[in-house]
Structures are given as structure tokens and as C-alpha cells.
Amino acid sequence: MFRISSFCLLIVLQVVTSEPPPPHCRVIPRVENPTKCCNFPKIFKEEDFKDCDIELPNENSSRPGPPDCSKQICLLKKYNLMKDDTEVDKDAVTEFLDKFVESYPEFKAGVEKAKEFCIKNDLPEPKLCQPTKIVFCISNVIFMECPKWEDVDDCKKIKDYVEECKKYFEKTN
């Protein structure tokens, strides 16, 4: 999961900026579980992941890759976020994220950036299905705007990386 997220993040970086990142911004610091570094509320329920047979990362297992597209579609359908079996309903995703922000207003900046970049634009490679690309994109953008970093050494590496290199990930006008 981390490798795929890192790859997606670097692809986003490559597309949104005309200035190449410095070498230290091309390699995301290695942290065992970067998702623990941001006190990020769950967007989807754990039971929904289980219902759709999506393996969640845990400390005792190897990192899973992205779920196959049918599993991601299953998850999004549970929230009525698909127009059909292949196309994400971007209007429904926007409304879903707006409701998320009502419960977690401290994440508004990240959600607004995610809506702007991940929903209003056609996402580039890698060759993942549209639902997977959108979910990874939204998660990564919100993570980069994390308002609640955990204060431990590994997390400090990620936080410092994001703060220093984020400008290369943001869309330039």
C-alpha cells in the first residue's frame, strides 16, 4: 500500500508542477505505518472494507497493494459513489466529502484541495481503475494537509518531508 501510495503521490507531483522536485523530495521517508502519523478519521467504516474483502494494513502483515478494482467499486457503491460499474459519481463524492468536513472541520483545507485536484481533474497514470485512483488521490491530498500530526520520531520525518516538499505536489497556476 505504501509503495502504491508513494508512486501515486510522485505521479501527482510530476503532473502538477513544471519545476522538478529536488532529489530529497523524490524519495518519501521510509516509515513503517505512515497513516498512523496523522490523526486522520476513518472515511469508510472498517466493516465495509471487510464486506468488500479489502485487506487493511496492520502491524503484523505485509503491506497489501491496492485492492482490485471490483473491491474498490464495492466499497464506493456502499456509499452510492458510483454512477455505474466503472464510473465514479464525482458529484456524489463531492457531497460525501462535504459531509465528512461537517464532522471533521479541521480537515476542510485538505478536503477542498482534494476536491479541486482529484475530482475536478482527470487523474493521470498509473494504470489503476478510476475508483482506485480517486480514493488514493483523495487520501494522499488530505494526508498532505494533515492538521494533527503525531509527535514521534518516525512521524516527524514524514511531517518534515510533507512541509518541505508539499509545494512540489501542489498545483501551480
> What are the residue boundaries of the structural domains of the chain, listed by start?
2-169
Q: Which residue has the higher pLDDT, 25 or 80?
A: 80
Contacts of 13-16 with CB under 8 Å at 24 or more apart are 13/168, 13/169, 14/124, 15/124, 16/117, 16/169, 16/170, 16/171, 16/172
* CATH fold group of domain 2-169: Recoverin; domain 1 (1.10.238)
Confidence of residue 173 (pLDDT cuts 50, 70, 90): very low
Joined together, the cell numbers standing for residue 40 give: 486522520
Output the pTM of the full model.
0.77
Question: Which pLDDT score is estimated for 84?
Answer: 92
pLDDT tens digits, one per residue of 113-166: 999 999 988 777 667 788 888 988 898 899 889 998 988 878 888 888 888 888
Reply yes or no on whether the pLDDT at 58 is more than 70.
Answer: no
pLDDT tens digits, one per residue of 1-11: 444 444 445 44
Question: Which pLDDT score is estimated for 67?
Answer: 66
pLDDT tens digits, one per residue of 26-47: 888 888 778 788 888 888 888 9
Which residue in this structure is represented by grid cell 482506485?
Answer: 132
Percent above pLDDT 70 for the chain: 79
Alpha carbon of 14 to those of 19, 52, 87, 163: distances in Å?
A: 9, 32, 25, 18
Q: What is the mean pLDDT of the chain?
A: 81
What are the beta bridge partners of residue 38? 149
